[in-house]
Amino acid sequence: MKIVLLYGGRSAEHDVSILSAYSVLNAIYYDYYQVQLVFITKDGVWVKGPLLTEKPKNESVLNLTWDTKDATGEVISPSTIKEEDAVVFPLLHGPNGEDGTIQGFLETIDMPYIGAGVLTSACGMDKIMTKYILQAAGIPQVPYVPVLKNLWKENPKQIFEQCEGTLLYPMFIKPANMGSSVGISKAENREELQNALQEAYKYDTRAIVEQGIEAREIEVAILGNEDVRTTLAGEIVKDVAFYDYNSKYIDNQIVMQIPAEVTEDVQEKAQEFAKKAYIMLGGSGLSRCDFFLTNKNELFLNELNTMPGFTQYSMYPSLWEKMGLKYGDLIEELIQLALKRYKQRQ
């Protein structure tokens, strides 16, 4: 069987996807699978890389510097990835990858693929939609105000008043569709709120302003289709003010504590909320559910990432490793879940 590994992608999380892809390539069971690499450039060009039948010896196999000048792969039309006996691993983070667009394309060409379907991907990626769904499910989350760009342009004063009437400073301002903390800022006053909104609108016309809270951050890994399994929560231990892009990928200042040192009650609640959120969003395959935990042991669900960071050292695989599921076996499970869902739909 063939795994078609889609990586790179058009979003600001392009580089993160390349890191994840390299880890996955090294862990595939090549006795059972061949891997067809398909790199998506930042401009959205699809480039067919080599077909691997064994572990790559170095990272260059990923065409890290690919552009039209020094192309080593073949530019392809996306639909030509279609073949029998293949499953797609869309290892793409952020818009145009994790948000239902690629998933819709894969449904259209009728190929099985790893991870969430169209609806779950779209709703999980959009922080405003996620909030609405969790609210309907009665899952605790921090107070928020959705702020659409055109309403903000029309009447910024009204938006300020709405935010300040509902929330206290500091506030967190985020593009609705993004990940890896790209476009997120913390605002201590109105001027910073204004700048933060402008920053968020670079990435999306939909933004969300949230109540900033002092909290620990814990995460639960979820795996399954109808049969949903969760891990114990792990903690992102930070000595930085917030978990921004630099601290995630550049400075390596983050320590993961697995399992998190929290009460049994908090562990149970985190798993319960994660599972409920996953079911309400119609999850399949995998997700990583992020929470805030205050010093009063209040738990707020922050988000569900339907294609979480997937290097060997990322939180999602590490949580499963701790539960006894090795990285390679986790990938195998994901492939089987993809095939199962595909067969059920036939």
Which conformational region is residue 255 in: left (phi greater than 0), alpha (psi within -120 to 50 degrees), or beta?
A: beta
Among 113, 172, 278, 316, binds ligand ATP (CB under 6 A): 172
Query: Considering only residues 252-311, where is the footprint of Mg ion by CB under 5 A?
Result: 290, 303, 305
CB of residue 138 to ligand ATP, shortest distance in Å: 19
CA 161 to chain centre: 32
CA distances from 115 to 30, 41, 152, 254, 287 (A): 21, 21, 35, 26, 8
Q: Are strands 216-224 and 171-175 parallel, antiparallel or unpaired?
A: unpaired
| Residue 247 interacts with Mg ion (CB under 5 A): yes or no | no
User: Residue 283 has which token pair?
Assistant: 């999850």
C-beta nearest to Mg ion: residue: 179
Please give the size of the binding site for Mg ion, defined by CB under 5 A. Answer: 4
| Whole-number Å distance between alpha carbons of 95 and 14 | 10
Pick the closer one to ligand ATP by CB: 46 or 203: 203
Q: Rg (Cα) of the chain, in Å, rounded?
A: 20
Among 126, 217, 235, 333, binds ligand ATP (CB under 6 A): 217
List strand residue ranges (DSSP E) for 149-237, in order. 171-175, 185-187, 206-211, 216-224, 229-230, 234-237
Tokens 């290097």 found at = 311
CB of residue 212 to ligand ATP, shortest distance in Å: 4
Check residue 241 and report its DSSP letter.
S
User: Residue 328 has which token pair?
Assistant: 């390679």
Among 88, 111, 116, 184, binds ligand ATP (CB under 6 A): 184
**Of the listed pieces 194-202, 271-279, 302-310, 318-326, which binds ligand ATP according to CB under 6 A?**
302-310
CB of residue 221 to Mg ion, shortest distance in Å: 13
The set of residues, in sequence order, having a beta carbon less than 8 Å from that of 197 and lying 6+ positions away, is 147, 152, 159, 173, 207, 209
| Residue 179 interacts with Mg ion (CB under 5 A): yes or no | yes
Pick the closer one to ligand ATP by CB: 172 or 201: 172
Interaction partner, residue 217 (Mg ion, ligand ATP, none; CB < 5-8 Å by kind): ligand ATP
CA 169 to chain centre: 27
| Residue 204 interacts with ligand ATP (CB under 6 A): yes or no | no
| Whole-number Å distance between alpha carbons of 246 and 284 | 30
| Residue 90 interacts with Mg ion (CB under 5 A): yes or no | no
Among 142, 163, 196, 330, binds ligand ATP (CB under 6 A): 142
User: Residue 58 has which token pair?
Assistant: 């170095």
Interaction partner, residue 213 (ligand ATP, Mg ion, none; CB < 5-8 Å by kind): ligand ATP
| Residue 17 interacts with Mg ion (CB under 5 A): yes or no | no
- Residues at the interface with Mg ion (CB under 5 A): 179, 290, 303, 305
